[in-house]
Amino acid sequence: MSISTNQIITKSTKPEDVDFQLGQVLLIDKPLDWTSFDVVNKLRFKIKHGLGVKKIKVGHAGTLDPLATGLLLICTGKLTKDIDSLQAMDKVYSGTIVLGASTATYDSEVPPDHHYPTEHITEEIMESARQNFLGPIDQIPPIYSAIKIDGQKAYNLARRGTDVEMKSRAITINHFELNSNDFPILSFVVGCSKGTYIRSLAHDFGKGCESGAHLGSLRREKIGDFDVKDGFTMEEAINFIDLALKKVI
């Protein structure tokens, strides 16, 4: 990866030091209900029109679902070639797991399709299940995901009622912390490798507790050494871009 410190835009960056065409990495705190592509398209529009150019490369390093918030790395210009290396970094997420109900999407996008008992779940059962997900594991991604099967995205096949067989993939869970004070809603913090689906982790954790579960909420806290605490809200990012390009709103 060939990204220098002065190419990383955080809240402490001076607008006059920015060169979007040469390449920048902009840290965004993605809002709820926005897709990652919504963020890219909005920022690309602002940068392109601010520079007065017909085209500029802008991309993101790692998709966040619309129901997730948190750190999204936006690359511009020549630094879009570094997207793959940024995506390969370990990540840290926080959020909630809802025990006792599963959903087809493994999150709260759709209503529960099955309900399960939770009265039997003790701290010991949860701890045993948690331990089973630490370290290198094989994980099956959700059917409702953007993984391509025979050239088509799995979620498109699933929505058409096509039988979809998802293949497991090797991932690593570096740490998995749980707080059960609001049981059956569990708060968690997870550190994991590239390719990890936290929705699948929530779903599989429910099975490990001899129950069911789905992801209630999700927030990406870190990508490598990048921290969401240094990220811009969308409003802040747009204002910063206007200042950097000396464009009056």
Closest Cα to residue 39, out of 20, 19, 61?
Answer: 61
Residue 249 in this model has a pLDDT that exceeds 50:
no
The answer on pLDDT for 221 being more than 80 is yes
Query: What digits encode the pLDDT tens for the residues 77-86?
Result: 999 999 999 9
81/95 same-domain check? no
**In Å, what is the CA distance from 44 to each residue of 11, 14, 75, 213?**
19, 20, 10, 38
Q: Name the percent of the chain lying above pLDDT 90.
A: 80
Q: Which of 5-19, 130-144, 194-208, 225-239 has the lowest average pLDDT? A: 5-19
Digit-coded pLDDT (tens) for 161-200: 777 778 899 999 999 999 999 999 999 999 999 999 999 9
Q: Tokens 């630094």 — which residue?
A: 79
78, 22 Cβ separation under 8 angstroms: yes
Residues 78 and 139 in one domain: no
Tally of domains within the chain: 2
Beta bridge partners of 169: 139
Question: Do 46 and 117 sit in the same domain of this protein?
Answer: no
Distances (CA, A) of 216 to 2, 68, 225: 37, 10, 26
Same-domain check for residues 79 and 115: no
245: which residues sit within 8 A by CB, 6+ positions away? 20, 47, 50, 51
- Quick one: tokens of 228? 């969401």
- Identify the pLDDT of residue 162: 74
- Which residue from 65, 71, 117, 108 is spatially nearest to 202, judged by alpha carbons? 108
Question: Are 78 and 111 in a shared domain?
Answer: no
| Full-model pTM | 0.92
CA–CA distance, 213 with 114 (Å, rounded to integer): 9
Binned at pLDDT 50, 70 and 90, residue 129 comes out as: very high
Same domain, 155 and 129: yes
- Note whether 154 and 144 are within 8 A (CB): yes
Same domain, 206 and 96: yes
Q: What is the mean pLDDT of the chain?
A: 92
Rounded distance between C-alpha atoms, residue 87 and residue 161, angstroms? 31
One domain, residues 163 and 64: no
Please choose, from the candidates 247, 184, 214, the residue with its C-alpha nearest in 3D space to the C-alpha of residue 67.
214
The answer on 70 and 158 residing in a single domain is no
For 41, the domain range is: 5-88+226-244
* CATH number of the domain encompassing residue 217: 3.30.2350.10
Cα–Cα distance measured from residue 106 to residue 44, given in angstroms and rounded to the nearest whole number: 31
Assess if residue 165 is contained within a domain: yes
Same structural domain, 83 and 97: no
Residue 65 falls in the annotated catalytic set: yes
Tens digits of per-residue pLDDT, 91-124?
999 999 999 999 999 999 999 999 999 999 999 9
Claim to verify: residue 216 and residue 232 sit in the same structural domain? no
Q: Are strands 8-9 and 91-99 parallel, antiparallel or unpaired?
A: unpaired
Among the listed residues 65, 82, 107, 204, the single catalytic one is 65
Question: Could you tell me the CATH number of the domain that includes residue 58?
Answer: 3.30.70
108 shares its domain with 190: yes
